[in-house]
């Protein structure tokens, strides 16, 4: 069984595509730590925050042709929902959020022919 490659490890981790890879990796990270809900929520939150920090640092170091990750941060928030399940939510810094919104706006303007 092979381990899935992280986006920042890919040769095509550059420009706007690096942001797309980053979002996929954040989803992978949140899904992983949410799946550990049987542990103490405080412990899971601490570990998820540490992993998010490392992920952002890896993108800042490895993503090419973009400054989207430079001096940015992510804060992981946790809550227990109505069905008593742990929910983790990444809150992006304003600079990173701006780059993600710009990417979304550009993708909405792209015509599919």
* Tens digits of residue pLDDT in 41-56: 889 999 999 999 999 9
* Range of the structural domain that residue 25 is part of: 13-105
Q: Answer yes or no: is 8 within a domain.
A: no
Q: Answer yes or no: is 2 within a domain.
A: no
pTM passes above 0.95: no
What's the domain count of the chain? 1
- pLDDT single digits (tens) 84-110: 888 999 999 999 999 999 988 887 776
Q: Answer yes or no: is 4 within a domain.
A: no
Query: What is the reported pLDDT for 38?
Result: 72
Q: Answer yes or no: is 5 within a domain.
A: no
CA distance 52 to 92: 11
CA distance 54 to 9: 13
Q: Answer yes or no: is 52 within a domain.
A: yes
Query: What is the reported pLDDT for 2?
Result: 64
Q: Answer yes or no: is 82 within a domain.
A: yes
Q: Answer yes or no: is 111 within a domain.
A: no
Q: Answer yes or no: is 62 within a domain.
A: yes
- pLDDT single digits (tens) 7-42: 999 999 999 999 999 999 999 999 999 988 777 888
| Backbone phi, psi, residue 6, to 5° | -80, 150
pLDDT > 60? residue 77: yes
């Amino acid at each position: 069984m092979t381990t899935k490659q992280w986006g920042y490890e890919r040769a095509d981790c550059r420009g706007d595509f690096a942001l797309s890879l980053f979002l996929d990796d954040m989803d992978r990270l949140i899904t992983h730590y949410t799946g550990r809900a049987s542990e103490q929520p405080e412990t899971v939150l601490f570990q998820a925050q540490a992993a998010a920090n490392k992920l952002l640092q890896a993108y800042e170091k490895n993503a090419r042709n973009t400054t989207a990750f430079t001096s940015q941060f992510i804060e992981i928030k946790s809550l227990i929902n109505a069905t008593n399940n742990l929910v983790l939510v990444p809150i992006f810094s304003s600079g990173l959020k701006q780059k993600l919104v710009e990417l979304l706006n550009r993708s909405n303007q792209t015509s599919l022919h």
